[in-house]
Structure 1
Amino acid sequence: MKRVLFVCLGNICRSPMAEAVMRQKVAEHDLTDKIEVASAGTAGWHQGNPPHEGTIRVLKENSIPHDGLTSNQLTRQDLEHYDYIVALDRSVSEDINKLARATENKPTYILLLELIDAGTLDVPDPYYTNNFQESYDLINRGCEALIKKIEDDHGGD
C-alpha cells in the first residue's frame, strides 16, 4: 500500500480538493487496495473543520464525493507515515522541508504541478483568488499524472 498525503496551507481548499479528486481517480483506476490518500495543512487554523464551501461546490459540480473530509494539521508523524508528500505550492513545500529535517523516513516530496505542464508550480489558493474551478482543473490534471507516477515508480506493487 502506497500512502499519499496532499498538503496546503490551511487544509480547507486545495489539499482536501486534491484528496477527494485523487480518491476518485484511485477508484476509477481500480487501485483502492494499492493507494491510500489523505490531506493536511501546514497551519492548524481550521483543525477539524470541513472544506471551504467553494471546494465542496466545485467537487459537487464535478461529481466527486467529499464525505468525511476534515482539516488536519501536518505533523512530523505524517512525514514518517506517508510515502508521497505532495505540496500544492512552493511555500508549503518549504514548510514541509523544515519539518522534515528531523524525520527518520524519507518519503518522496513533490510539488503536484511538477508532474504536468501547467506554466506554474503553484496551484493558486482559491481562498484568496476565489477561483475554485481553476484550482480544480490543475489538481485534476496533476492527480492523473500522480497516479501514473506511482504506477511507474512501483509497477504492480
Structure 2
Amino acid sequence: MMDSAESETKRIGSVLFVCLGNICRSPLAEGIFRHQLHQVERLEAFRLDSAGTGGWHAGDPPDPRSIAVARSHGIDISQQSARQIVAADFQQFDLILAMDRSNEATLKARAPLAAQGRIRLFLDHTLGIRADVPDPYHDAADGFEAVYRMLDQGCSALLRNLA
C-alpha cells in the first residue's frame, strides 16, 4: 500500500517554476531541473515550464546573468522565453513552485480553490526550509551564482522526492 507521499509523487508529472518576471530565478530553476531529469533519463516523464507573476518581460530571454551562470554549469537556458502565468496554468500543472513568499501569495490569490494545494514555496517544498530564493536581479554576478547553488540543491531534492 502506498503512503500519501508516494501517492503524491505518482501524480506529479508537470512542474511550473514561478518568480516575479520569469527572467532570473524561475528560468534557472526550470533549466536546472530539466538538466537533472535528462541526466537520469527521466525528462520525458515530466512537463516543465516557468512563468512570472508579472508580464513586464514577456517574450524576452532570461537575464544574461542567468544564462551565463547556467552555461558555467553546463546548462543552456538561452532559448527560454519569459511569460506571465495564465489561468490555465493552475489546471495544467501538478506542482507550482513559487520562488518567494510574495509570489506564493500572488499565486494563491489568483488560483482557483481547487489549485491551492498545488502551489508551494520552492525551498519549503524541496528542502523543508520556509525561506525565499532571493531575487538576484539587482545583484552582481555572484548573486546569480548563490541563487544557482540554492536552486540546484532544491532541484536535486525535488528529483529525489519525485524519482
Note whether the superposition's TM-score is higher than 0.5: yes
Query: For residue 147 of structure 1, what is the amino acid of its counterpart?
Result: L
- Contact kept, 8 Å, 1:80 with 1:106, in 2: the verdict is no
- Contact kept, 8 Å, 2:67 with 2:76, in 1: the verdict is no
Q: Deviations over 1:89-128 (max 9, x none)?
A: 111000010011x36455522211112266x611110102
Tell me whether 1:128 sits opposite 2:128 in the alignment: no
Identity %: 35
Tell me whether 1:147 sits opposite 2:149 in the alignment: no
Q: Deviations over 1:50-88 (max 9, x none)?
A: 000100110111111214200010111111100010111
Which residue of 109, 112, 121 corresponds with 1:111? 121
SS in structure 1 of the partner of residue 83 of structure 2: coil
SS in structure 2 of the partner of residue 68 of structure 1: coil
- Contact kept, 8 Å, 1:7 with 1:41, in 2: the verdict is yes
- Contact kept, 8 Å, 1:79 with 1:107, in 2: the verdict is no
SS in structure 1 of the partner of residue 15 of structure 2: strand
Runs of 4+ in 1 over 4 A off after TM superposition: 103-107
Partner of 2:58: 47
Query: For residue 43 of structure 2, what is the amino acid of its counterpart?
Result: T
Count residues with an aligned counterpart.
Answer: 149
- Contact kept, 8 Å, 2:15 with 2:46, in 1: the verdict is yes
* Between structures 1 and 2, the one with greater helix share: 2
Provide the rounded CA distance (Å) in 2 between the counterparts of 1:31 and 1:23: 9
Q: What residue ranges of structure 1 are gaps of 5+ in the alignment?
A: 152-157
SS in structure 2 of the partner of residue 127 of structure 1: coil
Query: For residue 156 of structure 2, what is the amino acid of its counterpart?
Result: E
Shift in Å, 1:43: 0.2
